[in-house]
Structure 1
């Protein structure tokens, strides 16, 4: 498949983006080493691609890693994932820094910006363009100051937004022991928090979540004879109420458990026909992975009980499954120490973030820590169509990641 797409199979060779295949306010992709990092972000922002479709973004990243002198470049990690490896002369710690390649299916508001999305109904409204720019800023520094010992792995991961990217990378044959890090760090920008603030907590950092789709099947009838059909309307109404109340009916827990109805559909738009089918979509969310399974089982039991009472048939599908992000004790201490050393505002979170992230998957192979980088209290919220990653925030992220590399003693000075 990769040959058909014109993408390298193993170690990268020169990769050129076909500028005719995408709309760009640059005729050719910018040079990493000859372009300010803010304009690199603008280029990425203008060319967003959805999960598992990040072909051009990945190719641009490969060019940047080549230019910065990465010793190895591995492509095809879990799809379009790319890793650049910068190696020291001596043995030492292997540190992985992760950013995300993908954007969201959102129509951007921001036509006044030269770098507004050029791809219809696709936008970097979660700030992944900024996260990539931060890692490329690290690549620029490594080009001038390579590690003396150990290795730095810059991982650009696909498909974070749908929760499958990290698992796909881990399960890729190309993600072998030569890439397994000793420790991995990631950040996420966070509007609503003070600009440049570092926020973190040990243990549970971001919630586990999954999308649950419940389909109910009955039987349609003429609207003049509803008694001849089997309508799911009453079951649907009761389920909507019961599913949202499930966390309160389970065993007591101080940790978050939440069920949120996000969509419901009943029948067809026809005045002459009673509904025969219904769809309910909910998001299940828990502070830890251990709390998720009891919530899933309780939802299944409620659906089974109600459909048996009414004679309906049902099926259940899960999408966007995220495990919880769990921060390692020592890796968390490293982030706290570096934030203090860099003179950053520091906030120790009292509870896990309610949103989900698939970075937690990497805990299966190494110690991990994720932290928040405050994007400003007046900045548009994440996933808002007007959101644009603040350029001035890039240097804050680069400074923190560089400090973390120094914390692992990869450099002489």
Structure 2
């Protein structure tokens, strides 16, 4: 079964929605315009219920199939953009300075809307389809916010599915990793408070910038000398800020970054060693060092059986020779993992043309993926909530 013909027929409409969302990006918990478009579309499609303002800007739509079954299957898409200045050169590039859909969430939203329109027109399933449009996936806790706001208590589901675009240059290749599929993540902020001085008399200082720079190097020893060699983790310092003049030894410095991990024990070991190194530096140099860790993403674990179901739905659309579960876990993170902590489900990737990576100011999502993703979402519902023929 190729792209569903009904979805193929209204693909121009999907592309119009996608271009509009891309040109008008909104970052996490600010997706008011995007959420309004989503809610209006669901109502126009004839959804039975549309609920707004979940965790601020989240939207949930409920659609009952023609059957009378009581099973419920969730489909989720994220809506937020990133604080990046776009350089793609597209004629529908971002019109919002410093904001860009550099991860394809505009495409994810459009794909789920495509599935919603198709399913509302056919209702060829037995049970309830629960469409979840989530805000603030990019490290701001949108999934956790929706769950805390009663997502799965107000709109319970038996299983939930999601997907992400993959700029692999291999269009329509669908992949999923069973079990542990994506890393968990913590962010850290470290503030060094020393003593400033004239740059010509550094002996009078307790140089916060020098100490912060030394800390960056010491942190890298943790993975090689404390973590077991066969365990995977990533520690990246991504920010260091200090100083404001050529002739002043700065009094303060700030380091920030992220830890990615596949085991909670690995995360805890890394955090403990970072804190111990900071305590040692603080004592040795006579300064104050404050350390803050924040867990942002859980480890994403795909249910093995439901991963097969996601692949089967994808195979219906792109062909059995274009799907695989033979892929390595990714060190990137995804807050759909938080939903999978509550409800079993699966999260896969679908390839498209172009190889500029995600989160790059020149990233371009190939619109050819839109009817593919919409068809996969729709087939998940039809397969998991089959309508018995009398």
TM-score (norm 1): 0.86
1:309 aligns with 2:287: no
Q: Is the 8 A contact 2:189 2:291 kept in 1?
A: yes
What is the distance in 2 between the residues matched to 1:253 and 1:341? 40
1:190 aligns with 2:163: no
**Unpaired segments ≥5 residues, structure 1:** 1-32
**Alpha-carbon shift at residue 252 of structure 1 (Å):** 1.1
**Alpha-carbon shift at residue 277 of structure 1 (Å):** 1.0
Q: Which ranges of 4 or more aligned residues in structure 1 deviate by more than 6 Å?
A: none
1:98 corresponding residue in structure 2: 76
What is the distance in 2 between the residues matched to 1:359 and 1:242? 33
1:385 aligns with 2:361: yes
1:368 aligns with 2:345: yes
SS of equivalent to 1:70? coil
Q: State the number of aligned residues.
A: 378
Could you list the per-position Cα deviations for residues 367-396 of structure 1 after superposition, in whole angstroms to 9, with x for gaps in the alignment?
0210011123x4321112222221111111
**Superposition map of 1:333-412 within 5 A:** 333-342=308-317, 343-344=319-320, 345-376=322-353, 378-412=354-388
Q: Which has the higher contact order (CA 8 A, sep 6+)?
A: 2
**Alpha-carbon shift at residue 255 of structure 1 (Å):** 3.3
What is the distance in 1 between the residues matched to 2:154 and 2:243? 54
SS of equivalent to 1:56? helix
1:78 aligns with 2:78: no
What is the distance in 1 between the residues matched to 2:331 and 2:362? 22
TM-score (norm 2): 0.91
1:8 corresponding residue in structure 2: none
Q: Is the 8 A contact 1:162 1:320 kept in 2?
A: no
**Superposition map of 1:81-160 within 5 A:** 81-88=58-65, 89-113=67-91, 115-160=92-137
The structure 2 residue matched to 1:242, chosen from 200, 218, 226, is 218
1:23 corresponding residue in structure 2: none
**Alpha-carbon shift at residue 320 of structure 1 (Å):** 7.2
The structure 2 residue matched to 1:219, chosen from 184, 190, 195, is 195
Cα 1:385–1:193 change in 2 (3 A) is: same
**Alpha-carbon shift at residue 143 of structure 1 (Å):** 2.0
2:240 corresponding residue in structure 1: 264
What is the distance in 2 between the residues matched to 1:163 and 1:309? 36
Could you list the per-position Cα deviations for residues 37-95 of structure 1 after superposition, in whole angstroms to 9, with x for gaps in the alignment?
11111111111101111001101111000001111111111110001110134123211
Which structure's residues are more often helix, by fraction?
A: 2
What is the distance in 2 between the residues matched to 1:130 and 1:119? 18
**Alpha-carbon shift at residue 217 of structure 1 (Å):** 0.4
The structure 1 residue matched to 2:257, chosen from 275, 279, 282, is 282
**Alpha-carbon shift at residue 327 of structure 1 (Å):** 0.5
**Alpha-carbon shift at residue 364 of structure 1 (Å):** 2.8
**Alpha-carbon shift at residue 140 of structure 1 (Å):** 1.1
RMSD: 2.1
**Alpha-carbon shift at residue 290 of structure 1 (Å):** 4.1
Q: Is the 8 A contact 1:214 1:279 kept in 2?
A: yes
What is the distance in 2 between the residues matched to 1:361 and 1:186? 12
SS of equivalent to 2:222? helix
1:321 aligns with 2:296: yes
2:208 corresponding residue in structure 1: 232
Could you list the per-position Cα deviations for residues 307-336 of structure 1 after superposition, in whole angstroms to 9, with x for gaps in the alignment?
111111011234571111110121112122
The structure 1 residue matched to 2:21, chosen from 44, 67, 72, is 44
**Alpha-carbon shift at residue 403 of structure 1 (Å):** 1.9
**Alpha-carbon shift at residue 236 of structure 1 (Å):** 2.0
What is the distance in 2 between the residues matched to 1:287 and 1:129? 28
